[in-house]
Amino acid sequence: MKEQGNVYKYGDNVDTDVIIPARYLNTSDPKELALHCMEDIDATFAKRVVSGSIMVGGRNFGCGSSREHAPLAIKVAGVSCIIAESFARIFYRNSINIGLPILESKEASEEIKEGDEVSVDFETGIINNITSGKEYQAVAFPQFIQEIIQANGLVEYIKKNREVK
Amino acid sequence: MLKEREVIDMGMTMTQKILAHGAGLDSVAAGQLIQVKLDLVLGNDITTPVAINEFEKIGFDSVFDVNKIAVVPDHFTPNKDIKSAEQVKKVREFCKKMGIVHFFEVGRMGVEHALIPEKGLAVPGDVIIGADSHTCTYGSLGAFSTGVGSTDMAAGMATGEAWMKVPEAIKFTLRGKPRKWVCGKDVILHIIGMIGVDGALYKSMEFVGEGVNNLSMDDRFTICNMAIEAGAKNGIFPVDEKTLEYVKNHSVKPYDVFEADKDAEYVKEYIIDLNEIKSTVAFPHLPENTRTIDNVGNMPIHQVVIGSCTNGRMEDMRTAAEILKGHTVHPDVRCIVIPATQKIWQECMQEGLFDIFIDAGAAVSTPTCGPCLGGHMGILAKGERCVSTTNRNFVGRMGHTESEVYLASPAIAAASAILGRIAGPDEVEEGL
């Protein structure tokens, strides 16, 4: 699977409170959550973002709360994948579990700029910055996690394995 | 194969031993992916509604064990608005339908991470996941306990299992005894200031050493509670007499005591002299932005919050009362005290602490997470500054994006409430 889109770039320690502020957590409706995605650090993101966009962050992306509403809001807002130097562990799990592709690459995270056009190949982990012409190799997922991603999330993975049993 | 070779070669950390036991394996090694059996699956009023959606998608019509799931509506309760009421209603009906035993209604509840140990639902050796990041609190009881999201909670409720990557560990050897007014909050803020908000990313924080004896259970709860603020998967304390005394007084569940092997591998080791730690404050907007109390400068404040899963326990209440006794809250400050559970609330009342708080001009709330995450019960306006005993000071955490949260101990919070600026209890005493 390949995705291509323009980049929205953020810094280090993007926390789940800015991804989706708690004042909007009185709903679990993904579409409603997406309307407020990134609101506290980028007030117009939800209005500007187009389907297939790519989000790039720095270190410890998604730190803080366990709210799955955070990757869910990003996914439903139209972001096809997130590239960061590193992800906070609960956000990492949640993204995989809901089928939002995430990729770790220090160089890509540092060098890709806001607005760059980037393509990502999830099978090979190759990130290609079309704007700059530079290519990066993301850290590979363990086999088991790849299987969850391929099943499009944990729920589908469990369903599939249950049927096999 | 690989697993067997590791059995011979490598000692395990305390966390790894609990995980190996939970996975039914003789041995595990860092980086290994395992499937563990769960002793408790936890959720709250924010994360459980999403988990219910996912649970229904999996297509299960019953939970794995009605006694091993705990659901605590604590974030926006007592329901702050219609939408919150609808969410709690959904959760309540789900629990009733599934026959979930440990559902805690308003009036019988508490902030989840204060409530679960108090109700005896977390004991040494347990493997616990909770759809709340501060689930790492129960490491203080010698359990493996970690925060997950709603889909993991759903899968846990359905199957009684979760996948885990066995973590590496950082060892924190604690020595000595904390000074007067220095508590678990100062210890963990000091550590986060030292290693950073991703300093323990994906790892266990294992606290050991003779200094552990000088930390109360409430101190240990606070320390493990904030392990997540260093990015850790879990924080954990060895089981000692204090732990066993706590377990005896709160739980009837069987438990298992695990110890790290002598040759366990740690990726890093820090030695912390507790007697050298000063009262510590985390400045906006990250818990790692710490300064000792003698370096805060003149910072006028508008609000003080004393409560939460981090510092809403009995010792925290007693400390705040000891400092507030005979004083009044500064005219420009609102001081909000939130005992974390019904039981703590009642004890405060019986010990006369509420008289002290009310005479001082502080408000006392029913248990709720409330202001900690900017839900209700003390939201900040633009430009307002709050000293809070909670755990996060991110942008907009307690209200307006241009408000500020300063994380501190109950002692600092109470002293700041009196003086109207960030200050330590010594300054209150000097002012007498």
**What is the Cα–Cα distance from B211 to B273, expressed in whole angstroms?**
8
Distance, C-alpha A112 to centroid of its chain: 15
- The 10s digit of each residue's pLDDT in A73-129 is 999 999 999 999 999 999 999 999 999 999 999 999 999 999 999 999 988 899 999
What is the reported pLDDT for A162?
78
Percent helix, strand and coil across chain A, each to the nearest 5: 35, 25, 40
Q: Which residue of B has its CA nearest to A99?
A: B151
pLDDT, tens digit, 9 for 90 and up, residues B287-333: 999 999 999 999 999 999 999 999 999 999 999 999 999 999 999 99
Q: What confidence tens digit (pLDDT) does each residue in B70-128 have? A: 999 999 999 999 999 999 999 999 999 999 999 999 999 999 999 999 999 999 999 99
CA distance A49 to A8: 8
> pLDDT digit string (tens) for B320-364?
999 999 999 999 999 999 999 999 999 999 999 999 999 999 999
pLDDT at A122: 86
Question: A152 pLDDT band (50/70/90 cuts)?
Answer: confident
CA dihedral B145, B147, B150, B155 (to 10 degrees): -30
Token output for B394: 């991110």
Task: Name the minimum distance, in Å, from the CA of A91 to any CA of chain B.
Answer: 8
Judged against a pLDDT cut of 80, whether residue A1 lies above it is answered with: no
Q: What confidence tier does B429 reach under pLDDT thresholds 50, 70, 90?
A: confident
Instruction: Report d(CA B109, CA B74) in Å as an integer.
Output: 8
Residue with tokens 């550590």: B191
Cβ within 8 Å, pair A21-B396: yes
Q: Which residues, 6+ apart, have CB-to-CB distance to B15 below 8 Å?
A: B144, B167, B169, B204, B206, B233, B234, B236
3-state secondary structure chain B: CHHHHHHHHCECCHHHHHHHHHHCCCCCCCCCEEEEECCEEEEECCCHHHHHHHHHHHCCCCCCCCCCEEEECCCCCCCCCHHHHHHHHHHHHHHHHHCCCEECCCCCCECHHHHHHHCCCCCCCCEEEECCHHHHHHHHHCCEEEECCHHHHHHHHHHCEEEEECCCEEEEEEECCCCCCCCHHHHHHHHHHHHCCCCCCCCEEEEECHHHHHCCHHHHHHHHHHHHHHCCCEEECCCCHHHHHHHHHHCCCCCCCCCCCCCECCCEEEEEEHHHCCCEEECCCCCCCEEEHHHCCCCECCEEEEEHHHHCCHHHHHHHHHHHCCCCCCCCCEEEEECCEHHHHHHHHHCCHHHHHHHHCCEECCCCCHHHHCCCCCCECCCCEEEECCCCCCCCCCECCCCEEEECCHHHHHHHHHHCECCCHHHHHHCC
Over 90: is that where the pLDDT of B7 sits? no
> Cα(first)–Cα(last) distance of chain B, in Å?
70
Question: Contact B159/B64 with Cβ under 8 angstroms?
Answer: yes
Within 8 A of A13 by CB-CB distance, chain B residues are 197-198, 286
Q: Do A60 and B53 touch (CB under 8 A)?
A: no
CA–CA dist B259, B14 (Å, integer):
5
Cut 0.95: pTM above it:
yes
- Residue with token string 């502020």: A21
Residue A64 DSSP one-character state: S
Q: Which residues of B touch A153 (CB under 8 A)?
A: 151
- φ/ψ of B371, rounded to 5, equals -70, -25
Tell me the two tokens of residue B204: 């266990």
One-letter-per-residue 3-state SS of B28-48: CCCCCEEEEECCEEEEECCCH
Q: What is the mean pLDDT of residues A62-67?
A: 97
Would you say residue B2 has pLDDT above 80?
Answer: no
Q: What CATH architecture is B4-271?
A: 2-Layer Sandwich (3.30)
> What class has domain B280-429?
alpha beta
Q: Do A66 and B231 touch (CB under 8 A)?
A: no
Residue tagged 């633009």 (tokens): B382
Top residue of A26, A33, A102, A159 to mutate, by most chain B CBs within 10 Å, is A26
What is the CB neighbour count within 10 angstroms for residue A110? 11
Whether B280-429 and B4-271 are alike in CATH topology: the answer is yes
* Interface membership of A98 toward B (CB under 8 Å): yes
- Residue carrying the six token digits 């009262």: B279
- Report which of B303, B313, B328, B248 is spatially closest to residue B413, judged by C-alpha positions: B303
**Identity of residue B129:** I
Distance CA A163, CA A150 (A): 16
Bridge partners (DSSP) of residue B280 are: B292
Q: Encoding tokens for residue B228?
A: 């997540």
* Per-residue model confidence as pLDDT tens digits over B55-69: 999 998 999 999 999
- Quick one: which of B330, B389, B316 has its CA closest to B362? B330
Matching residue, tokens 């991470």:
B113
**Are B374 and A23 within 8 A, CB to CB?**
yes
- Quote the strand ranges of chain A, DSSP E: 2-9, 53-56, 79-84, 102-104, 117-121, 126-129, 134-137
A40 touches chain B (CB under 8 A): yes
Residue B408 has pLDDT above 50, yes or no: yes
Contact A91, A66 (CB under 8 A): no
Binary contact (B133, A154; C-beta < 8 A)? no
Q: What is the CA radius of gyration of chain B?
A: 21
Tell me how far apart the alpha carbons of residues B7 and B263 are, in angstroms, rounded to a whole number.
Answer: 12
Task: Say yes or no: ipTM exceeds 0.85.
Answer: yes
Look at B159 and A158 and tell me if their CB atoms are within 8 Å. yes
Q: Which residues of A touch B163 (CB under 8 A)?
A: 144
Pairing mode, strands B303-307 and B334-338: parallel
Which residue in chain B is spatially nearest to A161 when comparing CA positions?
A: B58
A43 in contact with B, Cβ within 8 Å: no
Report the residue of chain A nearest B35, measured CA to CA.
A144
Mean pLDDT of A132-142: 92
Helix (H) or strand (E) run with residue A93 in it: helix A89-98
The Cα–Cα gap between B46 and B76 comes to: 8
Q: Which residue matches tokens 């004890």? A: B347
C-alpha–C-alpha distance, residues B142 and B13, integer Å: 12
| Size of chain A in residues | 165
Nearest to B147 among A28, A86, A90 (CB): A90
In single-letter form, the type of residue at position B1 comes to: M
Q: pLDDT of B352-391, one tens digit each?
A: 999 999 999 999 999 999 999 999 999 999 999 999 999 9
Q: What does the mean pLDDT of chain B come to?
A: 96
Q: Measured between beta carbons, which residues in chain A are less than 8 angstroms from residue B394?
A: 15, 17-18, 64
d(CA B318, CA B306): 11
Q: Report domain extents, chain B.
A: 4-271, 280-429
